[in-house]
Amino acid sequence: MKIIIFFLIFVFALPALAYVPSDPMYPEQGYLAQINASFAWDRIQGQGSVVAVLDSGVDVDHPDLKMNVWRNEDEIPNDGIDNDHNGYIDDVNGWDFVSAMPSPKPKLEKKYDVSSVNHGTAISGLIAAVANNSKGITGLSFSSKIMPVRVMDGNGDGDVSVLIEGIKYAVNNKADVINLSLVGYDYAKELEDIVNWAEEKGVLIVSASGNGNGGTSGVNLNTSPSYPACYEKVIAVSALDENGKKSSFSNYGTCVDLSAPGEKITSLGYYDSTNPDFTSPYVSNWSGTSFSTALVSAAASLVKSKSNYLTPRQIKGILENSAEDISNVNPEYTGQLGSGQLDAFKAVEEADPFFRGKLIKLKDFSAVYYVEDGFKQLFPSERVFWSWHSGNWDQQDIQIVSQKDFDDLIQKNNIAVREGNLLKFLNSPKIYELWKGELCQVDEVKVKELYGENWQNKVLGIQPGFFTNYVLNPNCQ
């Protein structure tokens, strides 16, 4: 099975928004205004996140990108040794799985295609071109890092086995997001398996839906699915024009999760001043779902940067839930363009915080949980709750969440009674004091000395099933 790049060469206005980078070509990037990028940048710019670009290679020396190229800090360059023992020698900035060599830059194989050679660098520029450096453009996640992984040749062709190795590399080297601006039309179980594995490892994969029949007419993926887009555990992306309408070339269908601008795109190109095909570091008038995908990957990077503990499922949910409804301008594609048009600002807002340090419950259940950093902890009873909180229920600001959001949170140990309280388990007459995380059995005489004649009012009754939440110390005094 082969994978190939799909894109079109096909021009830009920009209203001023909140955060305005100083890059001279920023006014040509009207698609950033379309997804409210400036407002998102007021909140976060991608610090600390890594996006792996699996493509035709990335110009790691590009003047508007090199400061944002990922560096493998555990690898010493050009010493011929696999210093970090990851199986790849001298992989300082990524790896070329096509040529089996450390440099992930594009290679000018015989009969190369200029657009294919430029493609990986253009995708990387949309995601993380350096901002405010008096050069060219700005990336949507301009403080993130690009991990270049070359999986396609200079004609935009690649093989599934190579792609699988590229995904493994990105996951094992701690990418947060993997951008796949590529598509094939043959199902491969081994590729779906590795996609599922990546999600299990906490890495989000964003994939292009494709540009139809030879890049001219969009295909209904319900009848002709594309891959990896139609695997369940990816974000599949379709392309829109500047008015939010489906691009004529863009594939569509229920596989699609989200849509984003994909026409009249300005980005980076592979730069080589000695080669007449690559004398400009910038290329305009790109169109294709490849570029829509890059914008969604960059938005996912912003969300991850804002709330690092989020899982791929949670990030996907945030991006979908915050999307702009475009059904009014796409009535013939209802339910076929995902949840709508990417809105980077709303996505970042929804990610801050994702139920962090809050109390939550499901609508039809009384149980209350404390949530922080993507974990949920149950209060086993109201008495346990009130050992930590004061006031009444109306003052607690308990957030009702959906079953999906609840399921996405990871269950941790139940919350124990606050230290210094007395408790008893309802199947036993024994009284315990909780101190320094351990249960100490106390007798009535001692309890009266400590708490007075009304000590029984201070005892919290706990269901016996929650005894395992505590550590019993038989020797404490």
Give catalytic residues, as residue numbers. 55, 119, 290
The whole-angstrom distance between residue 140's C-alpha and the CA centroid of its chain comes to 14
What distance in Å separates the CA atoms of residue 300 and residue 298, rounded to the nearest whole number?
5
What SS3 state is found at 96? strand
Is 98:166 a contact under the CB 8 Å cutoff? no
Quote the tokens at residue 445: 């005489």
For residue 79, the Cα-to-chain-centroid distance in whole angstroms is: 34
3-class DSSP state of 165: helix
Structure tokens belonging to residue 418: 């606050």
Phi, psi (deg, nearest 5) at residue 206: -115, 130
**1 vs 373: CA distance, rounded Å:** 41
Residue 289, SS3? helix
Q: Which two tokens stand for residue 259?
A: 């849509």
**Residue of 288, 301, 361 whose CA lies nearest to 177:** 301
Supply the angle between the helices 114-128 and 289-306 in degrees, to the nearest 10: 30
Q: How many C-beta atoms surround the C-beta of residue 197 within 10 A?
A: 15
Report the distance separating Cα 370 and Cα 413, nearest Å: 11
Which has the closest alpha carbon to 343: 332, 351, 335, 354? 351
Burial class of residue 277 (count of CB atoms within 10 Å of its CB; 0-12, 13-18, 19+): middle
Q: Are 295 and 177 in contact (CB under 8 A)?
A: no
CA–CA gap between residue 60 and residue 350 (Å, rounded): 33
Angle subtended at Cα 407 by Cα 403 and Cα 413, rounded to the nearest 5 degrees: 125
Query: Treating both helix axes as pointing N-terminal to C-terminal, what angle do 289-306 and 312-321 enclose, rounded to 10 degrees?
Result: 110
Please, what is the Cα angle at 224 between 221 and 226, to 5 degrees? 70
**By C-alpha distance, which of 3, 423, 421 is closest to 207?**
3
Sign of the alpha-carbon torsion through 20, 26, 28, 29 = negative
- Please give the single-letter amino acid code of residue 208: A
